[in-house]
Amino acid sequence: MLRSGAAPHARTGSPSSVSILKVARIGHPVVRASARDLASDELHSPEIQRLIDDMKETMDEYEGVGLAAPQVHRSLRLAVIEVQASDERTEQAVPFTVLANPVLTRLGTEILTGWEGCLSIPDLRGLVPRSARVRLEALDREGRPYTVEAEGFFARVIQHECDHLDGRVYLDRMEDMRSLSFFKEFRTYAAPDPDEA
């Protein structure tokens, strides 16, 4: 999901610093493949710990609120989420959260429809129905299991990122493709608030 239409800027750093990763766009096979679980020892490896840091850096660079490993060409059941308190789509901030091997359970039958965008589908927005409440069971970056119940925008972000791990994108969830809009047109004609997307 994107927060704004701003283009990312290039950063440079030493080889030991975190990196901004190349984002896989729709059409690349990794975006449509089901990702594999991470083994416990793999999660603790320096390679995966570095990947987590790089994913956070990439998400921040593109002003996203979530990023899944398949979006950066790694077919692993791994995602990161962070929502700033200043984000007008949410009522409260979500601290940086790692989702390793997540299991998602939808709670109740209420469905909310909201606008979504995606780093793998640049410059487009669409109306997507999602469960209003979900339960997430996952491992954190240290491999500790945790459970969280989420609603509203946080629940939407969790579902969006978990879809990526199953080879799905928000276009697959849209009930009416007529809402699909380029970002400029979305901001001009559809967004209820200029800072909504």
Catalytic residues: 161
C-beta of residue 81 within 8 angstroms of C-beta of residue 134: no
What phi and psi values does residue 82 have, to the nearest 5 degrees? -160, 130
User: How many CB atoms within 10 Å of residue 172?
Assistant: 11
> What is the signed CA dihedral for 105, 110, 113, 114, rounded to 10 degrees?
-60
